[in-house]
Chain A
Amino acid sequence: MVQSKKQKYLFLAFCLIPTFIMFAIFTLYPLFSGLYYSFFDWSGSSQNKEFVGLANYIKLVKDAIIPNTIIHDYFLVATKVIGIMVLALFFAVALTQLKIKEAPFYRIVFFFPNIMSVVVIGILWTFIYNPNLGLVNSGLEFIGLESWAKPWLGDEDWALPSLVLPSVWAGIGLFMLLLMGGISNVSKSYYEAAELDGASEWQQFWKVTLPLIWPQVKISILYIVITTLNGSFIIVQVMTGGGPNNSTHVMGSYLYQQAFVQYNFGYGATIGVMILILSLLTVLILQFFMRRDKVEY
């Protein structure tokens, strides 16, 4: 190469430093100072920032709403993982294994909600759940189950489960495509061999497909868990705002309320630290349990 060392480092600096400075200012610095703020009692103005040590963390442990927000988050994680994985696996197998002419149509349609705005999804589903005009209650009336009709999002017991369906609805397509990618890489000869051995389609799924696409299944589950823990509060905020009576608050929406509605920024940061720790722990634990040796036949 003709260029000198000095030129090389100048070019490297040109490529890396401006980007890293922006990243440091707008991503790294806020994360670390979030940790720092969690030790302060702070209502936003600079005069009223007072170091309180672990007081926010003690408050966190004593706060009766916190355990509920954690339970709500993990309820959404569990139901979304089950709902999305069961349906996405089923659709992925159906669209790859069985020769269906119109498969591309389903692929395109099922994926679309993945790129819709959470606001649009949330508002659309709020209307679907609308007690008087909504599709759900009208549908129940239509099939003669009026007694089941209820103000879904206004009911303390039903509001949180009602949020699962929109999340599953919006999420399936991506994971279906991920799994389809895995399935199409499985060599046809395995299925031919399994068929010769007299394995039913059901057995083929459990004994051939699932073990061979385990990496994709694992990635999908981890991805659902991470995105739910880090982002479930957005649909909560749009659809219920945490209500009725805190029955749908998740950690993130509670953080928003504490920090940006009630101006307890220090305490909000403490909730943020909890979200960070819980989501990292969950991912580590999951990765440990889903470790499985790569299957090769």
Chain B
Amino acid sequence: MKRSVGQILGRTGIRIPLILWSLAVLYPIFWMFLGAFKSNAEIYRNPWGFPESFSFENFTTAWTNYNIDVSVFNSLIVTAVGAILTLILAIPTAYAIERINFRGSKILFTVYVSAMMIPMVLGWIPLFFLLSDLGLLDNIYGLAIVYAVSQLPFSIFVLTSFIGTIPKSLEESAAMDGMSPYKVLWKIITPLSMSGIITVTIMNAIQFWNEYFMALIFLNSSENYTLALAIDFISSEAQYTNAWGTLFAGLVIAIVPVIILYAIFQRRISKGMTEGAIKG
């Protein structure tokens, strides 16, 4: 089929908004990286251009003067503990709901899934006092537990659909051979649903690494700050100190792990998120 001139023009024209939006997405991120390597004086002189010379001073200032090192460590702990705990709690329940016939399995699933739609702000006030009573307030492990439970509905939802794709015959023959259900879950189901487990874990890890508001409420002292809180602190300080370069360095430290994960698992992440949204 021959294409008319109008169509060819249209096809070029359609690229303009696409290119503009790509710039709108990439330029601020790119510029944040550049800003992290500029001195403060240069940020004022030339906020949006290339740095004259790359210096790592901002990173060392952030690392030493603002205790970013401690925050990075806290964030890593919260993310890892939270992600593992979510799996420990979610896999058995997802398996039971999907594969074992019992009364109320549908109701239980509905209870978990509908929790995805409930605004959790209301619960944060009592949660604050509950954590305080349990001695888990201002404690990164307490925060990790709260994170893990908050991602349970999403994780159970995604994992049940993955476990549903495993052929039943495998479990049945294992049970015939006298394997206990615990062993079936651990030795057969878990390895076979690894793809789903990885997707869920990456999504949860990004969520926990990025999370801000619960950390703001449930952590007080600066030695327990997660990265999000530390950056927020530098940001509010920067209004007086104008330490923009340090702030950018903090932002870069926060975003690099996410970029790396996205570079490796781009397909999984976008698929996991769209599937999570479809059920919502």
B25 CB–A CB distance under 8 Å:
yes
Identify the stretch in A52-60, A112-120, A203-211 within 8 Å (CB) of chain B at 4 or more residues: A112-120
A148 CB–B CB distance under 8 Å:
no
Q: With A238-B212, A255-B121 known to touch, is A111 a contact of B280 (CB < 8 Å)?
A: no
* Docked-complex contact A138 and B48, CB < 8 angstroms: yes
- Which chain B residues border A178 with CB–CB below 8 Å? 274, 277-278
Which of B123, B254, B274 sits near A177, CB closer than 8 Å?
Answer: B274
- Which chain A residues border B193 with CB–CB below 8 Å? none
Which of A12, A117, A118 sits near B102, CB closer than 8 Å?
Answer: A12
- Which chain A residues border B31 with CB–CB below 8 Å? 135
- Which chain A residues border B127 with CB–CB below 8 Å? 26, 30
B158 CB–A CB distance under 8 Å:
no
Q: In the bound complex, how far is the Cα of B124 from the Cα of A124, in angstroms?
A: 27
- Closest A residue to B176 by beta carbon equals A2
* Docked-complex contact B117 and A111, CB < 8 angstroms: no
- Which chain A residues border B22 with CB–CB below 8 Å? 105-106, 109-110
B60 CB–A CB distance under 8 Å:
no
Identify the stretch in B50-58, B62-70, B143-151 within 8 Å (CB) of chain A at 4 or more residues: B143-151
* Docked-complex contact B25 and A169, CB < 8 angstroms: yes
A174 CB–B CB distance under 8 Å:
yes
* Docked-complex contact B24 and A169, CB < 8 angstroms: yes
Q: In the bound complex, how far is the Cα of B247 from the Cα of A279, in angstroms?
A: 35
- Which chain A residues border B47 with CB–CB below 8 Å? 133-134, 138
Which of B43, B117, B180, B209 sits near A117, CB closer than 8 Å?
Answer: B209
Identify the stretch in A61-69, A183-191, A223-231 within 8 Å (CB) of chain B at 4 or more residues: A223-231
A71 CB–B CB distance under 8 Å:
no
Q: With A111-B270, A135-B48 known to touch, is A26 a contact of B125 (CB < 8 Å)?
A: no
A222 CB–B CB distance under 8 Å:
yes
Chain A 263-290, CB within 8 Å of chain B: the 1/0 string? 0010011001101100100010000000
A70 CB–B CB distance under 8 Å:
no
For the complex, count residues of A whose C-beta is within 8 A of B: 92
Q: With A31-B118, A33-B126, A260-B217 known to touch, is A120 a contact of B255 (CB < 8 Å)?
A: yes
* Docked-complex contact B123 and A31, CB < 8 angstroms: yes
**Which of B29, B108, B213, B266 has the most chain A CB within a 10 Å cutoff?**
B213
B198 CB–A CB distance under 8 Å:
no
Within 8 A of A (CB), among B15-31: 15, 17-18, 21-22, 24-26, 28-29, 31
* Docked-complex contact B89 and A22, CB < 8 angstroms: yes
* Docked-complex contact A181 and B274, CB < 8 angstroms: yes
Dominant SS among interface residues on chain B: helix
- Which chain B residues border A222 with CB–CB below 8 Å? 280
- Which chain A residues border B32 with CB–CB below 8 Å? 124
* Docked-complex contact B146 and A29, CB < 8 angstroms: no
* Docked-complex contact B262 and A30, CB < 8 angstroms: no
Q: With A12-B102, A14-B182, A226-B117 known to touch, is A234 a contact of B92 (CB < 8 Å)?
A: no
* Docked-complex contact A27 and B269, CB < 8 angstroms: no
**Which of A35, A107, A112 has the most chain B CB within a 10 Å cutoff?**
A112
Q: With A23-B112, A26-B127, A138-B48 known to touch, is A117 a contact of B228 (CB < 8 Å)?
A: yes
* Docked-complex contact A16 and B48, CB < 8 angstroms: no
A98 CB–B CB distance under 8 Å:
yes
Q: With A15-B96, A19-B93, A108-B266 known to touch, is A135 a contact of B273 (CB < 8 Å)?
A: no
B235 CB–A CB distance under 8 Å:
yes
* Docked-complex contact A110 and B25, CB < 8 angstroms: yes
Q: With A8-B100, A126-B235, A234-B213 known to touch, is A223 a contact of B14 (CB < 8 Å)?
A: no
Q: With A133-B47, A177-B270, A230-B119 known to touch, is A119 a contact of B254 (CB < 8 Å)?
A: yes
A243 to chain B, nearest CB (A): 12
Q: With A16-B108, A109-B25, A117-B255 known to touch, is A276 a contact of B118 (CB < 8 Å)?
A: yes
Q: With A115-B258, A174-B274, A252-B121 known to touch, is A135 a contact of B21 (CB < 8 Å)?
A: no
- Closest A residue to B266 by beta carbon equals A108
* Docked-complex contact A94 and B14, CB < 8 angstroms: yes
Q: In the bound complex, how far is the Cα of B280 from the Cα of A230, in angstroms?
A: 13
Q: In the bound complex, how far is the Cα of B24 from the Cα of A112, in angstroms?
A: 12
- Which chain A residues border B181 with CB–CB below 8 Å? 3, 7-8, 11
* Docked-complex contact A275 and B122, CB < 8 angstroms: yes
B42 to chain A, nearest CB (A): 11
Chain B 118-141, CB within 8 Å of chain A: the 1/0 string? 111111111111100000000000
Chain A 118-149, CB within 8 Å of chain B: the 1/0 string? 11100111111000011100100000000000
- Closest A residue to B215 by beta carbon equals A119
A8 to chain B, nearest CB (A): 7
B167 CB–A CB distance under 8 Å:
no
Q: In the bound complex, how far is the Cα of B125 from the Cα of A260, in angstroms?
A: 8
* Docked-complex contact A29 and B90, CB < 8 angstroms: no
Q: With A87-B21, A275-B119 known to touch, is A223 a contact of B280 (CB < 8 Å)?
A: yes
Q: With A12-B102, A19-B152 known to touch, is A272 a contact of B125 (CB < 8 Å)?
A: yes
What are 16 A-B residue pairs whose CB atoms fall within 8 Å in the complex?
A: A15-B93, A15-B96, A19-B92, A25-B130, A26-B145, A31-B120, A37-B125, A37-B126, A94-B14, A116-B255, A117-B212, A120-B231, A123-B247, A181-B274, A223-B280, A272-B122
The list of the 3 closest CB pairs from A to B, nearest first, reads A272-B122, A30-B123, A117-B210
